[in-house]
Amino acid sequence: MLDRTQTPLASLLRRRRPGYSLEAPFYTDPAIFAADMEAVFERTWIFVGVEPDVPEPGDVMTLDIGRNAILIVRDDDMKVRAFHNVCRHRGARLVHEDKGTVGNLVCRYHSWTYNLDGDLIHAEHMGADFDPKCHGLKSVHLRSLEGLLFVCLADEPPADFDDMAAAMGPYIAPHDIRNAKIAYTHDLIEPGNWKLTMENNRECYHCGANHPELTVPLFAYGFGFAPEELDEAEREQAARYGCLVTDSHGEWERAGIPSRMLEHLDDMVTGYRTERLPLDGDGESHTMDTKAASRIPMGRFPSSKMGGLHFWTQPNSWHHFMGDHAVCFSVIPLDAERSLLRTKWLVHKDAVEGVDYDLQNLIDVWMATNAQDSELVGFCQAGARTSAYQPGPYSPHTEMLVDKFCNWYVQRMREHFDPAGGPL
């Protein structure tokens, strides 16, 4: 009789080999997908959007994260709040549109009505004993980090969000996200497990061969290389790049713009990384001519050559902030083999399309890059389904941060499903 028993999740987690990609079931198994949603997406801080998604009181947006439906609304006091998008009467979905503007939140089924604070303010025919105060919307923890919105579905969210926010606030504040507008949003369904999308983002080993547009503004050296493999000319280039980074950091920091690298990708529950890196060419922006795409700067900067500040968060986001625009990416798992990559391009709220910026020019680099990355993710998903797949080694020079993503993931899973197994 064949033993068809699947390896238990705890064993898979315990035998994870550091420095190597994960075993196939982590990318393909619906049961592990469900476990990911429980241990990661229902417990840690998830990046979901930006304050300019809901600029005015009554503006509302919705988002599904796994089995959970969430609504984010700006109340009359300009506070952004998050609730479960579930009516407290018989559980109907409350807001159906991705985005809209409402006076109150009214359920279509029996017209139960909630104000923007989530209080139930109207419910007919419920009798004298009915207490509306016990039937307000269920709130979801929400934090705004200088305009970047994170939610946490856990009752008790990871407390180290505060440490991340304290460190990152000064980096992001100069970009003035709250005074930006969304110039464009693009949804791409990638044909792969969410972890493959994240792993792909955490390295630029693949950039030279796959991203002809991204490598116009981005220096290939910025994301690691094996020094012993460089010829003399390349060594000189790499050394010049190193000096450019040091000089730029000094210049920007003297002007009050934090730029030096901070990295806590696998030693915090709210893991993150940031660094402001100089850009190639004219050094202004992620565009095909490396110049600013928008004529109106997004913040108060000493120069138009502010490079690109990247900010990565575990488990599901990365961002690039330039002097003229910002690009924010969120990954929302759909099922074991598909993930939603949502990309938002932000410009100053007064910038007018066609006058201050050309939309195509603004989005060209990352539209092309996302399409290329999506295809690459699909290649790995296809490989993980085959009998030949086995975890492969990460480059110690260019894929250390992919390894840290996996370390972070395995730690969250072990804490939740195998606490007796101890730390990694």
Binding site for Fe ion (CB under 5 A): 373
Per-residue DSSP letter, 218: S
35 binds, among Fe ion, ligand 3BY, ligand FES, none (CB under 5 to 8 A by kind): none
Q: Are 364 and 216 in contact (CB under 8 A)?
A: no
- Give yes or no for residue 272 binding ligand 3BY (CB under 6 A): no
CB-CB contact of 421 with 414 (8 Å): yes
Residue 89 binding partner per list Fe ion, ligand 3BY, ligand FES, none, with a CB distance cut-off of 5 to 8 Å that depends on partner kind: ligand FES
> Residue 107 touches which of Fe ion, ligand FES, ligand 3BY, none (CB < 5 to 8 A by kind)?
ligand FES
- With a CB cutoff of 8 Å and minimum separation 6, the contacts of 69 are 62, 63, 84, 85, 86, 93
Output the CA–CA distances (angstroms, integers) from residue 176 to 78, 205, 260, 386, in the order listed.
17, 32, 19, 47
Interface residues with ligand FES (CB under 6 A) are: 87, 89-90, 92, 107, 109-110, 112
Q: Which is nearer to ligand 3BY, 24 or 204 (CB)?
A: 204
223 binds, among ligand FES, Fe ion, ligand 3BY, none (CB under 5 to 8 A by kind): ligand 3BY
Q: What is the 3-state secondary structure (H, E, C) of 347-387?
A: EECCCCECCCECHHHHHHHHHHHHHHHHHHHHHHHHHHCCC
Three-state DSSP state, 46: strand
Interacting partner of 130 out of ligand 3BY, ligand FES, Fe ion, none (Cβ under 5 to 8 A depending on kind): none
Could you tell me which stretch among 38-46, 199-207, 265-273, 344-352 binds ligand 3BY (CB under 6 A)? 199-207
CA 81 distance to own-chain centroid: 19
Q: Is 310 in the site for ligand 3BY (CB under 6 A)?
A: yes
Q: How far is the CB of 370 from Fe ion (least distance, A)?
A: 8
By the rule CB under 6 A, 204 interacts with ligand 3BY: yes
Residue 408 binds ligand 3BY (CB under 6 A): no
Measure the CA angle with vertex 224, ends 217 and 344; round to 5°: 45
Task: With contacts defined by CB under 6 A, name the span among 54-62, 90-98, 201-209, 250-258 that binds ligand 3BY.
Answer: 201-209
> In the complex with ligand 3BY, which residue's Cβ is closer, 88 or 342?
342
Tell me which residues in 208-247 interact with ligand 3BY (CB under 6 A): 223
Smallest gap from Cβ 141 to ligand FES, in A, equals 24
The answer to whether the beta carbons of residues 423 and 283 sit under 8 Å apart is no
- At residue 14, φ and ψ (nearest 5 deg) are -65, -35
Six-digit token pair at 104?
């109150």
Does the protein bind ligand 3BY through residue 394 (CB under 6 A)? no
Q: Which two tokens stand for residue 328?
A: 């924010």
Out of ligand FES, ligand 3BY, Fe ion, none, what residue 384 binds, judged by CB under 5 to 8 A for its kind, is none
- Applying CB under 6 A, which of residues 198, 207, 341, 401 lies at the interface with ligand 3BY? 207
Q: If you count DSSP H runs as helices and E runs as strands, how many of each does the chain have, helices first?
A: 9, 17
State the DSSP H helix or E strand holding residue 296, giving kind and residue range, or none if neither. none
Positions touching ligand 3BY (CB under 6 A) are: 201, 204, 207, 223, 310, 318
